Structure 1
């Protein structure tokens, strides 16, 4: 879906001039069509997540069919939370992560690993504050019944080339049945990661139940956001 400047202003809750400034100085993803800027929602989500820029609740697709609506809590229950994931470096960590994911049996995990590594070679998916969201160049869309978010705590922090230079201790992965669901979940992850209490829980490697409850609390608050 192509977005116009007025849409992006609403999504980020900033003046229009700020959008133009971001395009000039912060690598804000945009293209010109007949002299007018147009924006891709997925690219904006990745930019916002990577740069730590806050988005509003309006960023969440509001025209999804009911079967394409998703929440992190349910997706995380499907994908699982894993502790003490081993790895001495980024490649070893990603190999172990791919091995843990609850993927369809026939999926070529080695191919997926190489896709993730190729994406990391372009630019790190470490978004700062010890967190990374490994993903391929395009959304991981597979023949699954429902989206899966996996949360993985590393045995020890690993250098990831993150934007703030800090080693990564926590990873999120996302597998979706459609691109629309992918965008919905990714936008929610970006939103949840702005919650200071939730980030502290990640640093402390909180228990599964506590993490799930905090995510539910944050997502429940979305209904009250302007």
Structure 2
């Protein structure tokens, strides 16, 4: 979830006035969303650690932790599958992809694009065989009802700096409201892309319903697979 000024004041054991002062003077990271400041929990933890600011143990808790985890199929159906996405380079492709994401009304797409580009500058999210998994470094980006995975097939392959040297033609973008959901789906997606049948559909740019049907079948198989097995 995204935090308000009031939330941050409580988690840092200070006043809201101090929160605003720390934003101005100490670089407390904040983002404007709908005319109000919102804070990323992961960024807040990093900032407090660097600034040696004491935090409440509640900062490490996620209210959604007790809820059910999303399935790969549900996230992919929510995010959608799109074809012939344009872009002559990595940044242009990401800009096009962000426009296709089914984000909440009023979501700051420019901010998300900046986060995706910043993540790529740290290390390429291309995993080889023409596939990339761009995602923000900090998974808590928007207040959303549920996470999404959007699959975009590019009109022309683009160099993403993959270790195998192959240009990317398929981009899976993951956006989640919680760290827990983000890591869960990332592990499920990684597992799915090790499945030769599913991977072949991606390589062939198969039809939307065919891909979603395969994701549903994999999700049923996941029910008997532990997260540790999925990442092995």
TM over 0.5: yes
Equivalent residue, structure 1, for 2:97 = 97
Equivalent residue, structure 2, for 1:125 = 125
Following superposition, the deviation at residue 156 of structure 1 comes to 1.0
Aligned structure 1 segments of 4 or more residues deviating by more than 6 angstroms:
none
Q: Equivalent residue of 1:102, what SS?
A: coil
Q: Distance in 2 between matches of 1:107 and 1:191?
A: 30
- Post-superposition CA distance 1:82-111 (Å, at most 9, x none): 100001111110110111111122222112
Is 1:157 aligned to residue 178 of structure 2?
Answer: no
Following superposition, the deviation at residue 155 of structure 1 comes to 0.5
1:22-101 correspondence runs (5 A): 67-101=67-101
Equivalent residue, structure 2, for 1:144 = 144
Equivalent residue, structure 2, for 1:220 = 220
Q: Is the 8 A contact 2:135 2:175 kept in 1?
A: no
Q: Equivalent residue of 1:68, what SS?
A: coil
Q: Which moved more, 1:128-137 or 1:102-111?
A: 102-111
For this pair of structures, how many residues does the alignment match?
A: 163
Q: Is the 8 A contact 1:141 1:179 kept in 2?
A: no
- Post-superposition CA distance 1:43-62 (Å, at most 9, x none): xxxxxxxxxxxxxxxxxxxx
Following superposition, the deviation at residue 113 of structure 1 comes to 1.1
- Post-superposition CA distance 1:68-87 (Å, at most 9, x none): 31101111111111100001
Q: Is the 8 A contact 1:125 1:133 kept in 2?
A: yes
Larger radius of gyration: 2
- Post-superposition CA distance 1:1-43 (Å, at most 9, x none): xxxxxxxxxxxxxxxxxxxxxxxxxxxxxxxxxxxxxxxxxxx
Q: State the superposition RMSD in angstroms.
A: 1.6
Q: Is the 8 A contact 2:192 2:218 kept in 1?
A: yes
Q: Distance in 1 between matches of 2:145 and 2:225?
A: 29
Q: Is the 8 A contact 2:139 2:177 kept in 1?
A: no
In structure 1, the gaps of 5 or more residues are: 1-63
Q: Distance in 1 between matches of 2:83 and 2:66?
A: 33
Are the structure 2 counterparts of residues 144 and 225 from structure 1 closer, same or farther at C-alpha, using a change threshold of 3 Å?
Answer: closer
Equivalent residue, structure 2, for 1:109 = 109
Equivalent residue, structure 1, for 2:32 = none
Are the structure 2 counterparts of residues 170 and 140 from structure 1 closer, same or farther at C-alpha, using a change threshold of 3 Å?
Answer: farther
Equivalent residue, structure 2, for 1:205 = 205
1:175-194 correspondence runs (5 A): 175-194=175-194
Q: Distance in 2 between matches of 1:182 and 1:117?
A: 18
Q: Distance in 1 between matches of 2:180 and 2:225?
A: 21
Q: Which moved more, 1:214-223 or 1:74-83?
A: 214-223
Q: Is the 8 A contact 2:154 2:170 kept in 1?
A: yes
